[in-house]
Amino acid sequence: MEHNLENTIALLDRTPAALDALLRGLPDEWTMRNEGEGTWSAFDVVGHLIHGERTDWIPRAKRILEFRDTRPFEPFDRWGHMRECEGKSLGQLLDEFAEVRTQNLATLRAMNLTQDQLASPGRHPALGAVTLSNLLATWAAHDLTHLHQISRVMAHQYRESVGPWSNFMGVMQCAGHSA
């Protein structure tokens, strides 16, 4: 489908509650384990989503509206969630994610973006030319790539337990890891 801002907002609006319903109170064996050294647990992913809310989507949208493509975005710190997560419980991170997402969606709605504004060019430090529309669609798809990752990381914990069924389940064969 063409990018549709209302559809983007509808998805962004639901992710915190979906992650909350899936993860809150779940045993640590599901939420705190990763796929091996240098990989993320579900807990880490929620921290990463919070870090994106603070430093990525809305700040970059504002930069496009103010400077178009004359000033590239600040690079995103893929390990910035380490600071977001420090000393916090998963429940606290889920609360925080819901809170910053709500604030950011209020900011986005208040921008009252026109089709012309959505077509505005921006500059990504690595990817080059993008539009505000690309950025906002990516915000939604980024939620999905991390829901995809969380499902995979959690399924990985049962790789041995499922016995011969592992061959039948796509999630056990997934190589769609984000760069």
Site residues (CB under 8 A) for its own copies?
1-4, 6-7, 10-11, 14-15, 17-23, 25-27, 29-30, 33, 124, 127-131, 133-134, 137-138, 140-142, 144-145, 147-149, 151-152, 154-155, 157-158, 160-165, 167-179
Indicate the residue type of 42. Answer: A
Closer of 40 and 85 to its own copies (Cβ): 40
Q: Which tokens in the block code for residue 45?
A: 């992913």
Angle between helices 5-23 and 132-156 (to 10 degrees): 20
Q: Where on the phi/psi map is residue 36: left (φ > 0), alpha (ψ -120 to 50), or beta?
A: left
CB of 146 to its own copies, least distance (A): 8
Q: Give the list of residues 6+ apart from residue 111 with CB closer than 8 angstroms, or none.
A: 61, 65, 117
d(CA 50, CA 55) in angstroms, rounded, equals 9
Smallest gap, in angstroms, from Cβ of residue 86 to its own copies?
25
CB of 28 to its own copies, least distance (A): 10
Nearer to its own copies, 86 or 175 (CB): 175
CB of 34 to its own copies, least distance (A): 12
